[in-house]
Amino acid sequence: MPAPRALTEDEIGDIVARFAATAELVELAGFDGVQIHAAHGYLISQFLSPLSNLRTDRWGGDIENRARILFDIIAAIRTAVRPAFGVGVKINSADFQRGGFTEHESRAVITRLAEAGVDLIEISGGSYESPAMMGRPVASNSSSQREAYFLDYTRTVRDLVGDIPLAVTGGFRTRTGMSEALASDTCDVVGVGRPAAIAPQLAQSLLDDSTDTLERRAVKLPVPRRLAHVSTVKSLEGLLDLQWHTDQLHELGAGRTPDVSRPTWRTLATIVQRNGLGALKPTQRRVTASSSKRGARKFAVERLVGKYIANPTVLALNRIGLSTSYATDLSTTGRRSGTERVVPVAASFDQTGAWIISQHGLKAGWARNISADPRVRIRQGQRWRSGIAEFRPEDDVSTRAAGFATSRLAAPLIVSGFRALQTDPISVRITFTE
């Protein structure tokens, strides 16, 4: 994803008007209401969060200013639709990020939502960067609290909302848990996401008592356990979990039954095929100060992404014959071990040699091997070619990357892939020696 930029005043006004126009259309189409999504890191939630909202005008700063767009949208919708048309809001309990939207701020916004007379408030939490909505541990003796992620918080807003119905989504897996949450008057509506993607009839089967526990598939990345709590891994797992269930919705949409045995690598391949390798990259933040520590961290994170996610994904795509004919193997000599080291690289071949790009400049292990010994071998199709590698810092890496595409369709995938994974890219020319 490109680095975000601030909207202009006109653009904000236009977005508010579009929300109202959409609600009007939805009403015309026969629906009874709309829900404004102010959670999960989407636009309104970005306005609410001090981590992403760095504005110094009337749309940024204190929580009143950060929430302005939400209340302008509600007001604009109300004037566009009939009075009985429902307007709900989905809001985060918190962002679950240091320096983000807090529970305290969330309560302040919810109090104002109640004053504004919205028709439903749904509580969730997190974003794609910190996907609390896709799962977070809750320790409790009660079933409902053990399984549902945001009940504790919801209890703290019950008295603030008067008789406006409260919905909670995230984690509910048993009839007992759902019944407890409703019976304790913590919430009025229970939302269920992932289980419904593999069992679309589950609401009915809960109501007619034929189901007690919902089926759930844990979608995990194939990474070592010690990395399971690294925030990048957690956010990629959230993305993968979401995509795996989206794949199931596509199955249902195509009139087929959900495929619960769908392997994780196939979902990873789908993410890259649809969005480019950039989808696997941590979100870019506007950088306010540079530091070598941050650069080192970026390098470490992106090397992990490359090693455990991007490279296996490229190989998986290759296995199923998807547009990555630019992916090949490079063999260098280990500068310490003296043994052969083979790494997957993207290459573009010509008569006398090949171009490759070292995404991490001279820091990549194989680039350091080349500095120590420039004799390399590179696989061209089925054939291994010997050559001498040299760094070409004067070469324009972006133009070079675009030239790697074997088809016009593959070009954006390749360019975004390079952009996603590079920290300090440098072109490398390999000249064949035979």
Ligand X SMILES: Cc1cc2nc3c(=O)[nH]c(=O)nc-3n(C[C@H](O)[C@H](O)[C@H](O)COP(=O)(O)O)c2cc1C
Chain contacts with ligand X (rule: CB under 6 A)? 37, 40, 90, 124, 133-134, 169-172, 192-194, 197, 242, 245-246, 249
In 3D space, the residue among 156, 136, 206 whose CA is nearest the CA of residue 176 turns out to be 206
Taking the least distance from each CB to ligand X, the nearer of 80 and 138 is 138
CB atoms within 10 A of CB 111: 13
Taking the least distance from each CB to ligand X, the nearer of 219 and 346 is 219
CB of 39 to ligand X, least distance (A): 6
CA distance 137 to 425: 39
Taking the least distance from each CB to ligand X, the nearer of 92 and 427 is 92
CB of 68 to ligand X, least distance (A): 22
Q: Phi and psi at residue 124, in whole multiples of 5°?
A: -140, -155
**Residue 62 contacts by C-beta under 8 Å, 6 or more apart in sequence?**
none
Taking the least distance from each CB to ligand X, the nearer of 17 and 202 is 202
In 3D space, the residue among 429, 338, 422 whose CA is nearest the CA of residue 378 turns out to be 429
Taking the least distance from each CB to ligand X, the nearer of 195 and 306 is 195
And the tokens for 59? 């749309």
CA distance 255 to 339: 53
CB of 78 to ligand X, least distance (A): 21
SS3 21: helix
CA distance 51 to 97: 8
Query: Where would I find the beta strands (DSSP E) of 179-284?
Result: 189-191
CB of 88 to ligand X, least distance (A): 11
CB of 93 to ligand X, least distance (A): 12
Amino acid identity at 93? S
Q: Phi and psi at residue 284, in whole multiples of 5°?
A: -85, 140
CB atoms within 10 A of CB 377: 17
Taking the least distance from each CB to ligand X, the nearer of 250 and 286 is 250
Taking the least distance from each CB to ligand X, the nearer of 198 and 378 is 198
DSSP 8-state secondary structure symbol assigned to residue 343: E
CB of 172 to ligand X, least distance (A): 6
CB of 299 to ligand X, least distance (A): 32
CB of 251 to ligand X, least distance (A): 12
CB of 96 to ligand X, least distance (A): 13
Q: Phi and psi at residue 423, in whole multiples of 5°?
A: -115, -45
Taking the least distance from each CB to ligand X, the nearer of 42 and 384 is 42
Position with the least CB separation from ligand X: 193
Checking 245-254 for CB contacts under 8 A at 24+ apart, the result is 245/193, 245/194, 245/197, 245/198, 245/219, 246/197, 248/197, 248/198, 249/197, 252/197, 252/200
Taking the least distance from each CB to ligand X, the nearer of 101 and 404 is 101
CB of 45 to ligand X, least distance (A): 10
Q: Are 276 and 268 in contact (CB under 8 A)?
A: no
Q: Are 101 and 67 in contact (CB under 8 A)?
A: no
Amino acid identity at 180? E
Taking the least distance from each CB to ligand X, the nearer of 73 and 242 is 242
Q: Given CA atoms 291, 233, 5, 35 in this order, what sign does their dihedral have?
A: negative
